[in-house]
Structure 1
Amino acid sequence: MRNSANVKNDLYILILMAFSLPIISELKFYPFHDTFRISFSSAVFLFFLLWVKKIPLVLYGIVIGASTVIFRITIDFIFKSGFQFYSDFLLHFPAFFYYLVFSYLLYITKVNSFHNNPILIGILATF
């Protein structure tokens, strides 16, 4: 019974992530008023992944990456004149790859087993 409750909670987390992270990824901070920008989606994604108990983290990377790409292409379709699906897909696909690789690296390092060592989690998440 406990495992099914954990899986159910993980599915709620996945749904919450799929809707919130694409929006959060569009919030960017430009500290030097140049092309350099900071997005808070990486930190939020890490915190969500640390919350997960049963479902493999790679699944989260796939779902969040796909939802982010779909969200960004939809935004371009709505607001951009001269929309071209292929060029927009090529522009936004690296976000999918980022979320997939980040979640895979956290999965193979078993970052969720280090909750009692936050410094190690920070080091693993940085590299």
Structure 2
Amino acid sequence: MLRGLTTITSYVDDVAAAAAWYSELLGVEPYFAQPSFEDPAYVEFRIGDRQDELGLISSAYRPPAHSDAHPAGAVTYWHVDNVAAAVARFVDHGATELEPPTNRGDEGWVTASVVDPFGGIIGLMHSPHYLDVLGRQR
């Protein structure tokens, strides 16, 4: 069911400062920013041989279950063909839904997250980028 890593995201208080730090560290600029590169709430880098994605998202968008009392670290997203079905499968096996399936624009991106019975957060994503990379490798 899990087909591969798509994006690792971290919540940060200052996206622009974090993006600048990662740009210097990694030697690459983010390729994507939302709503803009000048005032980002989210930035994304493509790094490594497979162009894996590292995302930095404003703490303002942290899911309600993530609070100072319940800290959140990086969320690793795994590509799945059907996010809603994957969430249902995890829930059927004892996980709890943290973030429901959410469309991210109109290009086919869908994300969700669940908490496993041990407190680990698992990100689930339908990622056109993952499928594109996979197709080029074949």
Q: Same fold (TM over 0.5)?
A: no
Q: Which has the higher helix share?
A: 1
Give the TM-score normalised by structure 2. Answer: 0.25
